[in-house]
Amino acid sequence: MLAWVLETPVLGWIVLGVLKRDNLVYKLVSDAEIPEPPLFTATHTWQAAIQEQSVRVTESRLSPAERVQEAVACVPAAAQAQLEPAAGFRRWTVRDFHRAYRSGQATPTMVARRFLAAVEECSGPDLNMGFFISCDPADVLRQAEDSTRRYQQGAWYMRIAVAAAAKAA
């Protein structure tokens, strides 16, 4: 019965206020001393500052692609070593794809063909996953071939291209 009274909108609030006042809940809460460490102290030790190996000022007249190349050249060797395949499995980043495309190790067309093969395999009768509502392989290949041609000509776009997929909920 008490629970029903406390759950009623107006009467419940009044009864709850009376119960709190009579049982000195406010006094208990306001007089409570809870030992709590301050939040503004450092939670980790600071390491010595990393020595700057190379500082370069990019000129404003450079193209975005040239600025990116200059920034990549500033990455220290230790960071490059962490990016090597020997560090274990990791997914490729945009930087990895860009490096592979520029070196000729891979092309956007090769990546698109592997992607389409994986989509076809997953959509086949064995797995029947149906990740995509619609997938136009001819359009994907056309865009990949255009991108491959741009990389070969050195006229690649300075933007992140990500394969986008939409799945019906």
Residue 51: inside a domain: no
User: Which residue would you say has higher pLDDT here, 161 or 30?
Assistant: 30
The first and second tokens of residue 15, run together, are 């009864």
**Half-sphere exposure (CA, 13 Å, Cβ side) for 28?**
6
pTM (global) more than 0.75: no
Does residue 14 form part of some domain? yes
State the Cα–Cα distance between residues 65 and 98, nearest whole angstrom: 11
Which amino acid is it at 94? V
Q: How confident is the model over 86-96, as a mean pLDDT?
A: 71
Query: Is 39 a member of any domain?
Result: no
Is residue 92 domain-resident? yes
Q: How confident is the model at residue 39 (pLDDT cuts 50, 70, 90)?
A: low
The segment with the largest mean pLDDT, out of 51-55, 71-75, 79-83, is 71-75
18 in any annotated domain: yes
pLDDT tops 60 at residue 165:
no
> What's the domain range around 104?
75-153
- Encode 71-95: b = buried (16+ Cβ within 10 Å), e = exposed: eeeeeeeeeeeeeeeeeeeeeeeee
21 and 90 fall within a common domain = no
Is 142 within a domain?
yes
From the list 89, 74, 102, 78, the residue with the least C-alpha distance to 158 is 102
> pLDDT tens digits for 2-18?
788 888 888 888 888 88
Number of domains in the chain: 2
Q: Under a CB-based contact definition with an 8 Å cutoff, are residues 131 and 119 in contact?
A: yes
Would residue 70 count as lying in a domain?
no
Nearest alpha carbon to residue 117 among 151, 141, 97: 141
Residue 58 domain-assigned (yes or no): no
